[in-house]
Amino acid sequence: MTDSLGIAVIGAGYWGPNLARNLHASADWRLDVICDLDPDRAAALAARFGGARPETDVGAVLADPRIDAVAIATPARTHASLACAALEAGKHVLVEKPLADSGAHAESMIEAAAANRLVLMADHTYCYTPAVLKIRELIAEGALGDILFLDSVRINLGLIQPDVDVFWDLAPHDLSVIDFVLPDGLRPESVSAIGADPLGAGRACLGYLTLPLGGGAVAHVHVNWLSPTKVRQMIIGGTRRTLVWDDLNPQQRLSVYDRGVDLELQTLDGVERAEATVSYRLGDTWSPALPEREAIAVMVGEFAASIREGRAARTDGAAGVRVLRVLEAATASAADGGAPVAVRIPEPVS
Amino acid sequence: MTDSLGIAVIGAGYWGPNLARNLHASADWRLDVICDLDPDRAAALAARFGGARPETDVGAVLADPRIDAVAIATPARTHASLACAALEAGKHVLVEKPLADSGAHAESMIEAAAANRLVLMADHTYCYTPAVLKIRELIAEGALGDILFLDSVRINLGLIQPDVDVFWDLAPHDLSVIDFVLPDGLRPESVSAIGADPLGAGRACLGYLTLPLGGGAVAHVHVNWLSPTKVRQMIIGGTRRTLVWDDLNPQQRLSVYDRGVDLELQTLDGVERAEATVSYRLGDTWSPALPEREAIAVMVGEFAASIREGRAARTDGAAGVRVLRVLEAATASAADGGAPVAVRIPEPVS
Amino acid sequence: MTDSLGIAVIGAGYWGPNLARNLHASADWRLDVICDLDPDRAAALAARFGGARPETDVGAVLADPRIDAVAIATPARTHASLACAALEAGKHVLVEKPLADSGAHAESMIEAAAANRLVLMADHTYCYTPAVLKIRELIAEGALGDILFLDSVRINLGLIQPDVDVFWDLAPHDLSVIDFVLPDGLRPESVSAIGADPLGAGRACLGYLTLPLGGGAVAHVHVNWLSPTKVRQMIIGGTRRTLVWDDLNPQQRLSVYDRGVDLELQTLDGVERAEATVSYRLGDTWSPALPEREAIAVMVGEFAASIREGRAARTDGAAGVRVLRVLEAATASAADGGAPVAVRIPEPVS
Amino acid sequence: MTDSLGIAVIGAGYWGPNLARNLHASADWRLDVICDLDPDRAAALAARFGGARPETDVGAVLADPRIDAVAIATPARTHASLACAALEAGKHVLVEKPLADSGAHAESMIEAAAANRLVLMADHTYCYTPAVLKIRELIAEGALGDILFLDSVRINLGLIQPDVDVFWDLAPHDLSVIDFVLPDGLRPESVSAIGADPLGAGRACLGYLTLPLGGGAVAHVHVNWLSPTKVRQMIIGGTRRTLVWDDLNPQQRLSVYDRGVDLELQTLDGVERAEATVSYRLGDTWSPALPEREAIAVMVGEFAASIREGRAARTDGAAGVRVLRVLEAATASAADGGAPVAVRIPEPVS
């Protein structure tokens, strides 16, 4: 094992303790500092992890040469300035989702990371669950073939948030997962969003996102705070196989169906072609065993690995930007009655 | 029991035999004639029901004074001319869905029925299942309160139709049910539809319909021929209760949840209002027992009752028009990338 | 295709029409006669199948040289005498379950078949469903390893039968399936049965059968007429894999779990051995696709094949005897408060 | 609020920390002492709860006049001597299940409690879950009518225990719940048990218990360490309604079916009676909302309440004895091939 990396957690509120606990437990990391504007909160959290010292001054953290990286778990509106300062100070940066409060701010963070040749990682935790890691692997190895559609449903009786609508509250989970499993990431041609506020709560409490993906493929997301039943399900249809991820069924979270429609393309006119060559497969179903691993632990391991290997993290700043750009387009579309809005996703650098 | 009414079934193809079997078994009806252009087909079907004679000439049927009504089960493009001729000849008319091949044709049928003071009924069979009848009753008596949203999913590995897309193939079921259970019928402010043809089949194989209903409420329909799993589910959220109809769960088709979000409206500004007064109910769930009855039998009984009582059928011509107008708007919206398209629904006459 | 075989159906009551329909539709068979003591019933059923003539006299059927085989669908108490007469007359015999009204009668039928070198087949219809055929195949090829346990549940709100208890009404299904899938058939060391009649209906309305199978393995059957929920499930545990058959889940009737406990046997004392070498497998789950085929059609095909190939049918007379012997032992055990009762199963002839 | 009661937890191993955490959080209790033979373990646990002191000497605990009660969480073989010593010293006693290592030992504990007029309570934790409390309440108020049968299934891929068989490992949960919900407690006429050890593990790894309850009613328990699927389900059939408790379905743990068989008893002979008057109800299903409460917290509240009110705890020593007596009879029956074994349950005192 190489030496562990020094890290500071900035923000000791809701998510910071989860990060701190997993960083403390990881052999990759040495949790040196818990930083929070509230000295009591910083001290209480630091006390739980031997070796970590509390801090209230971010400047002192960034000036500490033993700190290799920071994990930012503060309110979203502060992410960009904190991250850019850390990157300027030579620290690698992990940021709680959403990466920033706007796509523009997120892009400034990417630029700072690139300029300083440092890792900027978005903590899209869900992507590091065993189920999503397996989906990504299956798609990458071609088990599903070309992706035809993704349909994601995330509904339950949820807390109506005071500051964000249901799209910004729930859809980041679906979008970051779709971004993670698609080989080229989330690159819709446009976004159509229709939200509804039937209770008059002042913001959308349920909504639908439709994302044409090019080549006739489409992604769709249904998010809803008003459903009495809880559903967490994604269907991913491909030319070879189709996958269903039912996150509320611990006994069979993933099902891969060797079942589908085959369409042989021929040089005939449209009608004959379709009539002549549609065929149906009704093959076996397969449910891969999944390991039991905590997603945050895998995520902090990926952060360390990307730093050591000098490569982008699997959920890098660009992934964070893609999710934000889709959410921004959704807000614009919803305000325009669902009219499709183009999304400006930066081209992959490679 | 009053005397039975004489009826002719026109069209002995796929659906005609189902109508004939139920009309023959009903004490309301006297099945007199099976009419089909193909004399063998007419004769074979008539032979199954003692007392019915085969015919190939529609004119002869319409001239027969013993015939009170006709049930039309021919291709959709022939519905309007056949129905109008029958109505002009003084016959009540039942028409297999879709009511016609266009909203304009369907409206001409309504006019002919009104001019002749006869019953025109759309055979929206699904509306007469015990589950849907119960949903209509629950909403009518206020058990759900005001309707906030309807979310319908109808997906499975389905036959790709050679002549219609997935909206016209599957969504009529969802739309006719929504029309049936809403007290004022299906009257969306607009229709947004996005279809996808990821296989290049020449028509949409999966698609999403979003229908703002006014007052912040919304209906949404997901239809899909490419799903390996079969789902037939509708969630109807109301201010008092929420209902889930799972048609593939014969042991508990309907669940009524006394669970939801309450929002007390106060004369405060928007943010305070929502923060102060959101509350959550987590009450019991209730699943009403449903009788075992064949929907077509109930439907032909409704046809007879509407004639005898001189009233509109529950699924009258206007219901058929509303469904067609939404489908036409969906086609227009899908062609325009999902932009919302206004729907021209005639006002209720009442 | 070889020439079809001539067959008569004896008994035109509840099950006879199903046999007649499938025999008529089969290229293996030529349905020549429908025989019933009630001439109208015989005539009505024969009229449905062109070429079949009605009969009321069994003697005439047995004397007809064009008849190769008879299918008996009369009350169980008449099976033995009818079958023996048919076998003496040189006809192959298929018998609706139960094979006879007692094990002794069933054995007389086997003797008559053997003496006349003819096929005697029990119509254990359930064994010819795609799911059970697949289970038999998986066990035969060793996919499950050695069988450790079989647990079968068949419960729902069922009709209380006037003449038989719940064991004789429902358990024949479970027992004939267990007999079919086990490589050596159903050969329990003993039978313990406890029935309950909590309503005072005069016979057991729910009951439990426990069947030690030798080598520590066990089969268990729960049958129940009083359950508000319907369950049709069998779990079959093996040393290599475990299988769950859920007959009410058409989307995933069979699940094969590569999951289980491994116990390495070592020459140590008992306690150490178990402690040292228990390990757990948590592998994938697999659900084989099953063809859509009607079980009776497959069954009548097996009857023809066994005749043509001069071999025992898969569900031969001996299978019928094994099921009856277990049921008789269950009755004896239940009368003795559940004390184990030995079962006299004839050895396989091999 | 009355003053809190002083308590010591004896045993700081697996279960003691759960008791300590809930006692510490309860306003009813003042957690004074953590006692364990291992001083480090006692100190570490005491340090987690401000105000508790570690001890290694039970005698010192029992001599402390501030201690009103002890909670015993030591190995089962030590329960009787510790509990009797505590009761002799004037302390109320709560004992982790099983109450003792034998029915005889447990009865000596009851005698000591009675002689000293102190509370002896069995920690049958499962009985204090919201679902089981609701079942008890429904039966007590007559919602199910007379109980006809209880069928409990508790199966999954479980750890093979080195020292106990599957009956003693899993069935105490089912038996203590059945004891809790039946108005007169668990009083079977006899016990039939068949265990199977198909892997040669040295003890039963799956087994079936059948318990005739008198009046034709019956309880049955299926416990299994070798099942690849996890099931936690109890069906309780009554003359008025039937209840299903599915503990793995958090969205609908309890379902109450107004569905069943009615049998009108008449003064006719047996056959006519049953034929004439069986009728079937197919009413609604109802799923009561359940509060979210931790069972141990409710349990320690019941311990305090029983002390303050000078009454027996809901799960008192007698309940613990009944469970042990059934387990002992099961062991005897299993050793005798499943023959029914009488159970000696003390009569209720009242």
pLDDT at B261: 84
Whether pLDDT at B1 is above 50: no
Residue of B nearest to A275 (CA): B162
Interface predicted TM-score of the whole assembly (ipTM), two decimals: 0.90
- With pLDDT > 90 as the criterion, what percentage of chain B qualifies? 85
Q: Would you place residue C348 in the very low, low, confident or very high pLDDT band (cuts 50, 70, 90)? A: low
Cβ of residue D259 closer than 8 Å to a chain C Cβ? yes
The model's pLDDT over C96-107, given as tens digits with 9 standing for 90+, comes to 999 999 999 999
* DSSP-derived secondary structure letter, B141: T
Residues of chain C found within 8 Å of residue B251, distances taken between Cβ atoms: 229-230
- Chain A closest-CA separation from residue B201 CA (Å): 5
Beta bridge partners of C92: C69
Exposure string of D297-317, with b = 16+ CB inside 10 Å and e = fewer, is bbbbbbbbebbeeeebbbbbb
Supply B2's token pair.
């009053």
For chains C and D, count residue pairs whose Cβ atoms are closer than 8 Å: 180
Which chains have 3 or more CB–CB distances shorter than 8 Å to chain A?
B, C, D
pLDDT at A279: 82
Contact A196, A127 (CB under 8 A): no
DSSP string computed for C73-120? -S-GGGHHHHHHHHHHTT-EEEEESSS-SSHHHHHHHHHHHHHTT--E
Supply B265's token pair.
């409206």
pLDDT at B348: 64
Cβ of residue C289 closer than 8 Å to a chain B Cβ? no
Q: Would you place residue C163 in the very low, low, confident or very high pLDDT band (cuts 50, 70, 90)? A: confident
A10: helix, strand or coil: strand
Exposure string of A256-279, with b = 16+ CB inside 10 Å and e = fewer, is bbbbbbebeeeeeeeeebbeeebe
Supply A147's token pair.
């992706």
pLDDT at D273: 47
Contact B128, B304 (CB under 8 A): no
Whether pLDDT at B273 is above 80: no
Residue of A nearest to C282 (CA): A289
A237: helix, strand or coil: strand
Which chains have 3 or more CB–CB distances shorter than 8 Å to chain B?
A, C, D
Supply D89's token pair.
């010293």
Place of tokens 């009442």: B350
Q: Is the peptide bond before A98 cis (omega within 30 degrees of 0)?
A: yes
The model's pLDDT over B73-110, given as tens digits with 9 standing for 90+, comes to 999 999 999 999 999 999 999 999 999 999 999 999 99
Pairing mode, strands B120-123 and B92-96: parallel
Average pLDDT, chain C: 93
Whether pLDDT at B294 is above 60: yes
Residue of B nearest to C230 (CA): B251
Interface contact B286-D287, CB threshold 8 A: yes
| Cα–Cα distance for residue pair D317/D319, rounded to 1 Å | 5
**Using CB atoms and an 8 Å cut-off, which of residues 3-42 of chain C contact chain D?**
none
| Cα–Cα distance for residue pair A313/A299, rounded to 1 Å | 10
- Chain A closest-CA separation from residue D235 CA (Å): 22
Sign of the Cα torsion A284, A288, A289, A294 reads negative
- Chain D closest-CA separation from residue B282 CA (Å): 7
Residues of chain D found within 8 Å of residue C157, distances taken between Cβ atoms: 259-261, 280, 282
H or E element at residue D170: helix D166-181
Residues of chain B found within 8 Å of residue A259, distances taken between Cβ atoms: 157, 228
Closest CA to C257 of C245, C248, C268, C269: C245
Contact A156, A233 (CB under 8 A): no
Lowest model confidence (mean pLDDT) among A248-262, B209-223, C253-267, D116-130: C253-267
Sign of the Cα torsion A109, A110, A115, A118 reads positive
> In Å, how far are A36, A166, B137, B138, B243 from B143, measured between CA atoms?
50, 26, 9, 5, 10
Pairing mode, strands A190-196 and A206-214: antiparallel
Contact C224, C155 (CB under 8 A): yes
CATH fold, domain D5-124+295-316, is: Rossmann fold (3.40.50)
| Mean pLDDT confidence for D21-43 | 96
Interface contact A212-B218, CB threshold 8 A: no
Contact B254, B131 (CB under 8 A): yes
H or E element at residue D176: helix D166-181
Cβ of residue A266 closer than 8 Å to a chain C Cβ? no
Average pLDDT, chain D: 93
pLDDT at A273: 46
3-class SS string, D192-232: EEEEECCCCCCCCCEEEEEEEEECCEEEEEEEECEEEEEEE
Q: Helix count (H) and strand count (E) of chain C?
A: 10, 15
Contact A324, A103 (CB under 8 A): yes
Cβ of residue D191 closer than 8 Å to a chain C Cβ? no
Residues of chain C found within 8 Å of residue A284, distances taken between Cβ atoms: 286-289
Residues of chain B found within 8 Å of residue C251, distances taken between Cβ atoms: 229-230
All structural domains of chain C with their residue ranges:
5-124+295-316, 127-292+325-342
pLDDT at C273: 46
Cβ of residue B239 closer than 8 Å to a chain A Cβ? yes
pLDDT less than 50: residues of chain A? 1, 273-274, 276, 350
- What's the whole-model pTM score? 0.92
| Cα–Cα distance for residue pair C235/C233, rounded to 1 Å | 7
| Cα–Cα distance for residue pair A204/A181, rounded to 1 Å | 27
pLDDT at D350: 47
| Cα–Cα distance for residue pair B294/B156, rounded to 1 Å | 23
Cβ of residue C252 closer than 8 Å to a chain A Cβ? yes
Cβ of residue A227 closer than 8 Å to a chain B Cβ? yes
Taking each helix axis as running N to C, give the angle between helix B79-88 and helix B103-116, from 0 to 180 degrees, rounded to the nearest 10.
10
Q: Would you place residue C265 in the very low, low, confident or very high pLDDT band (cuts 50, 70, 90)? A: low
B314: helix, strand or coil: coil
Q: Is the peptide bond before C212 cis (omega within 30 degrees of 0)?
A: no
- Chain D closest-CA separation from residue A250 CA (Å): 10
Interface contact C284-A285, CB threshold 8 A: no
Whether pLDDT at C237 is above 90: yes
- Chain D closest-CA separation from residue C201 CA (Å): 5
CA angle A332, A333, A339 (to 5 degrees): 140
The model's pLDDT over B142-186, given as tens digits with 9 standing for 90+, comes to 999 999 999 999 999 988 888 899 999 999 999 999 999 999 999
E-strand spans in A167-322? 190-196, 206-214, 217-224, 226-238, 242-246, 254-263, 278-287
CATH class of domain segment(s) D127-292+325-342:
alpha beta
Interface contact C289-A286, CB threshold 8 A: no
The model's pLDDT over C210-234, given as tens digits with 9 standing for 90+, comes to 999 998 999 999 999 999 889 999 9
The model's pLDDT over D310-325, given as tens digits with 9 standing for 90+, comes to 999 999 999 999 999 9
Supply B127's token pair.
């509306």
Supply B14's token pair.
């796929």
Cβ of residue C340 closer than 8 Å to a chain D Cβ? yes
Which chains have 3 or more CB–CB distances shorter than 8 Å to chain C?
A, B, D
Closest CA to B132 of B286, B306, B258, B314: B314
Cβ of residue B289 closer than 8 Å to a chain C Cβ? no
pLDDT at C350: 47
The model's pLDDT over B309-329, given as tens digits with 9 standing for 90+, comes to 999 999 999 999 999 999 999
Nearest to D287 among B284, B288, B289 (CB): B284
* Residue B324, φ and ψ in degrees, nearest 5: -65, -40
Which among A251, A253, A292 is the top mutation candidate for probing chain D, defined by the most D β-carbons within 10 Å of its own β-carbon?
Answer: A251
Residues of chain D found within 8 Å of residue C197, distances taken between Cβ atoms: 216
Cβ of residue A161 closer than 8 Å to a chain B Cβ? no
Residue of A nearest to C283 (CA): A289
The model's pLDDT over A127-178, given as tens digits with 9 standing for 90+, comes to 999 999 999 999 999 999 999 999 999 999 988 888 899 999 999 999 999 9
Amino acid at A146: D
- Chain B closest-CA separation from residue D228 CA (Å): 23
Interface contact B224-A194, CB threshold 8 A: no
- Chain D closest-CA separation from residue A236 CA (Å): 25
The model's pLDDT over B185-230, given as tens digits with 9 standing for 90+, comes to 999 999 999 999 999 999 999 999 999 999 899 999 999 999 988 9
Closest CA to D341 of C338, B2, A219, B187: C338
Closest CA to C5 of C121, C84, C133: C121
| Cα–Cα distance for residue pair D100/D97, rounded to 1 Å | 7
Nearest to B196 among A192, A217, A339 (CB): A217
Whether pLDDT at D293 is above 70: yes
Beta bridge partners of D278: D263
| Mean pLDDT confidence for C272-285 | 72
